[in-house]
Amino acid sequence: MSTVTCADNSGPVEFRIINKLGKGHAHGRLAAAGLGDIVIASVIKGTPAYLKKPVRVVIIRQRAPIRRPNGMRVRFEDNAGIMVGDDNLPIGTEVKGAMAREVVERYAKIAGIASRIV
């Protein structure tokens, strides 16, 4: 039930994570989501068209430090995500703020709307 800010211009302002798509949890536990994961979220603040409806969101920033293969650790100020469709293409046309390089390597189409890649 984490809250994630919306970093694109698709309409919502804030999401609440409901579930994670794919594997990644032990029996009886909720799945943990990180950078580049697709989650199902509910819009809790934003335009009435999306309000209280489940949407697919890709996590592009997270507060917890991420360890990269070269040993460097990266962390962001907030938890943020962008809305994607069923085909994993972004719904918005631009991203506010930075985006992690791990997301760009995984989803090439999302890199096209990124303003900064860290």
Read off the CATH number of the domain in which 96 is found.
2.40.150.20
Residue 103: its H or E element: helix 101-106
Q: Assess whether pLDDT exceeds 90 at residue 4.
A: yes
Cα–Cα distance between 76 and 98 in angstroms, integer?
Answer: 9
pLDDT-derived band at 62 (thresholds 50, 70, 90) equals very high
Residue length, the chain? 118
* Per-residue pLDDT tens digits for 27-47: 878 778 999 999 999 999 999
pLDDT-derived band at 82 (thresholds 50, 70, 90) equals very high
Single-letter code of the amino acid located at 96: K
Its pTM stands at 0.90
Cα–Cα distance between 73 and 45 in angstroms, integer?
Answer: 31
Give the range of the structural domain holding residue 57, as residue numbers without chain letter: 3-117
Quote the number of domains for the chain.
1
